[in-house]
Structure 1
Amino acid sequence: MERNNVWSSYNRDQLTELDRINTMYKSCLDEGKTERECVKIAVRMAEEKGYRDIKGLIKDQTEVKHGDKVYAVCMNKSISLFNIGEEPLERGMNILGAHIDSPRIDVKQNPLYESEEFAYLDTHYYGGIKKYQWVTLPLAIHGVVAKKNGEIKEICIGEKDDDPVFAVTDLLIHLAAKQMEKKAGIVIEGEKLDLLIGSRPVGKEDGFREEEKEAVKSNVLKLLREYYDMSEEDFVSAELEIVPAGKARDMGLDRSMVMAYGQDDRVCAFTSLFAMLDVDEPQKTSCCILVDKEEIGSVGATGMQSRFFENTVAELLALMGETSDLKVRRALQNSKMLSSDVSAAYDPMFTEVFEKRSSAFFSKGLVFNKFTGSRGKSGSNDANAEYLAAIRKALDEDHVAYQFAELGKVDAGGGGTIAYIMANYGMEVIDSGVAVLCMHAPWEIASKADIYEAYKGYKAFLKNM
């Protein structure tokens, strides 16, 4: 079933809107390189559109009714937004769900050490990465340091033009004969991903003593105290993430693509957020869920497997005067959801792992995956045919370009999303998203046309389902 490249179908007004969405998207990518940063963006944009924090509504016992806009945040790493519709909540919601965590390198809790007059941070990678892709890149540190007095220090080093950057080193090719014989998975081992952060010892003006054994580490600690009022012990209560330094960029002479870190899955998260904030007066309650921890199994209090979303729905119903657990269950079971996550774009350089008739292609629109999982659909949500037909109708009404695909050849591998977790409530769920090249690499590539069609598709889903 052939799908057309959508670029040739756009008129001038559509191209202007496409540029607006992509400009806003790139700005969000630059500002949101961690889950916390993404939630901060979402809260700011939501409040500008009249959304109110559910914590304040609960505290004041404020009644929630049709037309109200509410958001709930979990530990500053996940957020759910609700635009209350005309129909009772127990009849279900139209839900957009995506994750805002991305593969990266995390700093350990006792990380700072010196070796041969180099200062390093010890690390542990997060999510599925090709470790060799993370060496010799300019890297930045983002995160927070929580001090014992309750103060939270936000850290962002490496993004401004005059900021220093950091790196993971690699062995020079002249001495790498044995290294080059290794399999790709162990060319760079996890314990070799330590971050080089300094090489200058503390100076005499700062009390340097000849017997100082770790003078470079001492200088790093001096700088941390100076800039962040941070001691070595404060690493214990810090969450520091190492990510590629640099901004999202237009890619290609025709500027048809976006190259950036973290497009899995922020390309779906931000387009879902944009669509959510642009829908007014829905018939059914609209909902957007942006969650953490998908890359490591959706676990923990901020992952989709937690009770955070379910509890929030219960709180909403209570603010509507409904405290029945049965109505919470009905609201969830009667809902419809797009579990939005990226798809593997067909890459002509690696045709051996793709089945062309069932692949996602650049610039052919929003991608739907009836099922994900691996090999024999293991670990998959498998959407109902009736639900697919309803989605086709909803998107066709708003002239959204879309395509259907699978993740590579049947025995080539696979992957999962949050779809199966939400399907446990009995709701209708299907995976959808944007086709991406170089998924899980430090720099990923997406088509501007697909980003625009995703925004249009998510908006049509909220409006027409």
Structure 2
Amino acid sequence: MRAELNQGLVDFLAASPTPFHATQTLARRLEEAGYQRLDERDAWRTEAGGRYYVTRNDSSLIAFKLGTAPLLENGLRLVGAHTDSPCLRVKPNPELVRQGYWQLGVEVYGGALFAPWFDRDLSLAGRVTFRLAGKVESKLIDFKAPIAVIPNLAIHLNRDANMGWAINAQTELPPILAQVSAGETRDFRDLLGEQLQAEHGITADAILDYELSFYDTQRAAVIGLDGAFIAGARLDNLLSCYAGLEALLASSDDYSGVLVCTDHEEVGSCSACGADGPFLEQVLRRVLPDGDAFTRTVQRSLLVSADNAHGVHPNYADKHDANHGPKLNGGPVIKINSNQRYATNSETAGFFRHLCLENEVPVQSFVTRSDMGCGSTIGPITASQIGVRTVDIGLPTFAMHSIRELAGSQDLRYLTKVLSAFYDSADLP
């Protein structure tokens, strides 16, 4: 079970270099499991026992199954995660030719660690919008091959490199794609047109626009002397998306369950398809009873907001509160913050801890040091949007927001097990 889940995660990460591809991969798995795709522009006909999913912007997804138990009496079991990760996005007019090298200008998306992007074999993926036969269409593309690199400056030319230096995102992060001759020009949109033809057999009249991100081509892997770790890109937060999907697909048909995987968490979630937008509420209002019954159903529901937590790093243990240092392979972490950066309260934390104990899953706690700022996630945003009770949890991780993060190889099984139990739980608090 552990090895199979970990390999499934590795394959999921490889198929999901961008939020668009992650959503596509999730949708494919759901359809294979009998989930029916709904279009927000159409009238919906849902029924008890039905399984459905809907996407927005091609980068966010909500899947739900309607159980046999009455919704008004039993509420919803929701698991929330996000599809996006910090990365380098290509600018609208990106072409740069410097010293005979063709480079692309990039914009930093989210709170990325810059240094790990240097000296990596990078590829490019995302969504391209184009004109074909007088109509505007979009397709996902993925170059897959390593087509770019951001070389480091040699230590001989930067003697202070190991002393720490500020990396300038404008001048130091543009990747190199090729060498060019004197006077030669390259058009990035021509390159995208060639990729559309190669990947989809489409000869576009014009490339109109795009949302494209660079990513590391090195696959995720189970590593360590005893195979104790999973190393890979985008563990924050595709790991939680994958665990939530596996748990939903493994759950029974007794109770109604929802999986929410939204985009733009790393930049505040404020978008039409983000957690701070109307997506979830609009979907729920089309499925749940109206008016008074809607509020009563939501108040009988519970959201598990699953996003990675900071594991205590052996080289930087002083960055943690001494009594709250989650360990990799120590099980899911309940995240708590008195200033509501996390939405956990004593009742929701108690329920999740009870669920872990009942299913023999180890559980840990995280509170940030009182002299440090605390990050946040979709938990407080979703709780304030629809009024649902929430517990913020996640798996402990090293190097969060790096191009290659590290998690425990046992923890995915723990998380999937407790989320499966949550979807099948008869009694919510």
TM-score of the alignment, normalized to the shorter chain, above 0.5: yes
C-alpha offsets along residues 330-373 of structure 1, whole Å, 9 cap, x if unaligned?
333332011100000111111121123211111111111133xx
- Higher alpha-carbon deviation: 398-407 or 101-110: 398-407
Partner residue in 2 for 1:352: 318
| 1:192 Cα deviation after fit | 2.2
Give the aligned partner of residue 200 of structure 2.
none
**Residue of structure 2 equivalent to 1:192:** 172
Q: Which moved more, 1:437-446 or 1:46-55?
A: 46-55
Give the direction of change, closer, same or farther, for the CA distance of 1:253–1:60 in structure 2 (3 Å limit).
same
Matched, 1:134 2:117: yes
1:258 to 230, 254, 270: 230
Q: Cα offset for 1:437?
A: 0.8
Q: Is the 8 A contact 1:145 1:155 kept in 2?
A: yes
Q: How does 1:9-408 map to 2 (within 5 A)?
A: 17-55=1-39, 59=42, 61-62=44-45, 64-91=46-73, 92-149=75-132, 150-157=136-143, 159=144, 163-177=145-159, 184=165, 186-201=166-181, 213=183, 215-217=184-186, 223-228=191-196, 234=207, 237-283=209-255, 285-317=256-288, 322=289, 324-371=290-337, 377-407=338-368
Residues 147-176 of structure 1, C-alpha deviation per residue, up to 9 Å, x if partnerless?
A: 02334343212x3xxx34311233221121
> CA, structure 1 residues 382+309, in 2 after alignment: closer, same or farther (shift >3 Å)?
closer
SS at 2:148's partner residue?
A: coil
Alpha-carbon offset, residue 447 of structure 1: 0.6
Q: Structure 1, unaligned stretches of length 5 or more?
A: 1-16, 202-211, 372-376
Distance 2:9 2:160 in 1: 43
**SS in structure 1 opposite 2:103?**
strand
Normalised by the size of structure 1, how large is the TM-score? 0.84
What is the percentage of aligned positions where both structures have the same residue?
Answer: 24
SS at match of 1:415: coil
Q: Is the Cα–Cα contact under 8 Å of residues 198 and 216 in structure 1 kept in the other structure?
A: no
Equivalent residue letter for 2:390: V
CA distance in 2, matches of 1:314, 1:228: 38
Q: Deviations over 1:376-397 (max 9, x none)?
A: x445234232222222222322
Residues 1:195 and 1:325: Cα distance change in structure 2 (over 3 Å): farther
Q: 1:211-234: CA deviations, max 9, x gaps?
A: x72x1526x666554443589973
Structure 1 residue 191 displacement after superposition: 3.7
Q: In structure 2, how many angstroms separate the alpha carbons of the residues matched to 1:60 and 1:198? A: 50
Instruction: State the distance in 2 between where 1:456 and 1:366 align.
Output: 11
TM-score under structure 2 length normalisation: 0.90
Q: 1:191 to 1:233 in 2, by over 3 A?
A: farther
Provide, for residues 206-265 of structure 1, a one-character-per-residue CA deviation record: whole Å limited to 9, x for no partner.
Answer: xxxxxx72x1526x666554443589973x510101111121112112112110000011
**Correspondence for 1:442:** 403
Tell whether the 8 Å contact from 1:251 to 1:257 is kept in structure 2 after alignment.
yes
SS of corresponding position for 1:217 = coil
- What CA distance in whole angstroms lies between the structure 1 residues aligned with 2:312 and 2:18? 28
Letter in 2 for 1:108: K
- Structure 1 residue 19: Cα displacement: 0.9
Compared CA separation, residues 151 and 265, structure 1 to 2 (3 A): same
Maintained 8 Å contact 2:155/2:161? no
Separation (CA, whole Å) in 2 of partners of 1:179 and 1:231? 45
Unaligned runs of 5+ in 2: 198-202
Distance in 2 between residues matched to 1:79 and 1:193, nearest whole Å = 31
C-alpha distance after superposition, 1:92-142 (max 9, x if no partner):
211100011001000011112322321111110111122222122111101
Change (3 A) 1:240 1:20: same
8 Å Cα contact 2:352/2:391 also seen in 1: no
Q: Which has the larger radius of gyration?
A: 1
Q: Matched residue of 2:277: which SS?
A: coil
**CA displacement at 1:463 relative to structure 2:** 1.2
Q: How far apart, in 2, do the equivalents of 1:430 and 1:380 lie?
A: 12
What corresponds to 1:420 in structure 2?
380
Q: CA deviation at 1:290?
A: 0.5
In the TM superposition, residue 314 of structure 1 has moved relative to its aligned partner by: 1.3
Contact 1:180 1:187 in 2 (8 A): no
